[in-house]
Amino acid sequence: MLCEQVTKAATRREFLETAGLGFGGLAASCLLAEDAVAEPKANPFAAKPAPLPAMAKSVIVLFMHGGPSHLDTFDPKPLLQRYDGQPVPESFRTRDFQFTKMDKVPLLGTPRTFGRYGDSGLEVSDLFQNVARHADDLAVVRSCHHDGFTHITGQNWMNTGWAQVGRPSLGSWVVYGLGTEGENLPAYVVMLDGGIKSGSPAYGSGFLPAMYQGTVLRSEGPPILNIRRSGLEAPERQRLLMDKLEWFNRRHLERRAGDSELEARIKAYELAFRMQTSAPEVVDISSESAATQTLYGLDDAVTRPFGKQCLLARRMVERGVRFVQLYSGCGNNGASPGWDGHNQIDYNHETMAAQVDRPIGGLLEDLKSRGLLERTLVVWGGDFGRTPFTDGGEGGARNNAGRDHNPYGFTVWMAGGGVKGGKVIGATDEIGLNALDDKVHVHDLHATILTLLGLDHEHLTYPFQGRDYRLTDVGGHNNLASRLTSG
């Protein structure tokens, strides 16, 4: 009897010990089994075939924060020069414009000199002499317009196609529609030299899943913080930890279906892991030759900041990044006027152009020499244009010689990505106030960019609050694309 009790006790102890160890083994084997049998997770950033014939694969947007004057850069107006200092003609003083002092301020000609460049004879001001060397690659659209009179609304229009915040940015729509060809870098990259007046919604994802928002690279110090491996753990063990973290995060997400921010965070962990091997290399420009660095102006303190952005943009599209946006003129979290030339616009634009002209010219030359320009669409523009009359107190305050905001007629130029350069599309009126011929609304501009990428702006939609939304809302025409790509 006693022997039987001891035997049973021993058996019970052995069973509990064995079972206790078995529970742990069962849990581990279950996790490993799930990893083994789980289907590969779909990558939302995986490259997708373009629905339409595509001219471009990547986009670089050069955004001049503050609103550059078309009248001093790419849209010469001889009549404005002739009537410099005189009152605005009565025929231009319509109620359609939001200028309360138009009848009290004089017209303002430009002190800049325009020249004809390239075989096409494209007219460009002396502010952009390096860009002008590529005149035969530029298609200058002089008839752009929208309805955003303030910086915030203007930047929202140009970046999201809508005046108010909450809509997805152009870059987000592009990545949503096409994904990216680079698996180890962000699909949509933004480079700033400070804060922008419209804030992060200008490059945000709006109501699209949060994973499609732009990734900001810092302008000072390491472009991406904490991107290098610590060296404390072997890559294999870090990979195992990332897989387990993914498993737990996915279980957490199952109970919170539709949480796009949580989904974006999960994807960010995985992307950050992959970027540890690729991002340090792409942001390390020391491997570039001295000639290339000089081409972008890295040998000059004035051109170096924007030159570095331009060089990084080339390196990124070279590695498959889909959409890159560079901002010039933010400065000190938006405190700098940037291109916002309300006062002393000639000094303002001369200062700003000196920072970007050489880098942009270098970018175009470098892309072309590497065979990248034909598949990379480069777009230059800003919030809006500037007025043909002064912006000051009553009587004109010509001593300030600045210009007000003008969303009613301004210039955007494009190069590469199937665009045939050396041409001008559209026109403003005789003094450059209003888009007149072949008017191009921002929705038309966005529709055209999508078309060049092989996307149909009417079919690239996303369901939100009971209806399908698109970048171009209920407007937009892509007929500009055929004009840009025809010889």
**Contact at 8 Å (CB) between 124 and 424?**
no
Predicted confidence at residue 217, as pLDDT, reads 86
The 10s digit of each residue's pLDDT in 19-71 is: 444 333 333 333 333 343 344 455 777 899 999 999 999 999 999 999 999 99
Predicted confidence at residue 232, as pLDDT, reads 53
Residues in the chain: 487
Beta-carbon-side half-sphere exposure of residue 2 (alpha carbons within 13 Å): 0
Predicted confidence at residue 91, as pLDDT, reads 85
Residues 463 and 59: their CA atoms lie apart, in Å, by: 25
Tokens 């414009």 map to which residue? 97
Domains of the chain by residue range: 58-224+285-485
Name the H helices within 226-259: 235-254
Predicted confidence at residue 195, as pLDDT, reads 87
Report CA-CA distances (Å) from 326 to 323, 353, 367, 378: 10, 15, 16, 11
Q: What are phi and psi of 400, to 5 degrees?
A: -85, -35
Between β-strands 323-328 and 376-382, what pairing exists: parallel, antiparallel or unpaired?
unpaired
Residues 299 and 318: their CA atoms lie apart, in Å, by: 23
**Contact at 8 Å (CB) between 475 and 194?**
no
Residue type, position 107, single letter: L
Tokens of 12: 């019970």
Residues 408 and 432: their CA atoms lie apart, in Å, by: 9
List, for the chain, all residue ranges whose pLDDT scores fall below the cut of 70: 1-42, 95-96, 100, 219-239, 241-280, 332-336, 392-400
Q: How far is CA 322 from the centre of its chain?
A: 10
Predicted confidence at residue 9, as pLDDT, reads 43
Residue type, position 451, single letter: T
**Residue 371 Rama label (left phi>0; alpha psi -120 to 50; beta):** left
Predicted confidence at residue 282, as pLDDT, reads 81
Between β-strands 435-437 and 461-464, what pairing exists: parallel, antiparallel or unpaired?
unpaired
Predicted confidence at residue 358, as pLDDT, reads 98
Handedness of CA 355, 358, 359, 364 (dihedral sign): positive
Predicted confidence at residue 25, as pLDDT, reads 34
Instruction: Tell which CATH classification among 1.10.3470, 2.60.40, 3.30.70, 3.40.720 matches the domain 58-224+285-485.
Output: 3.40.720
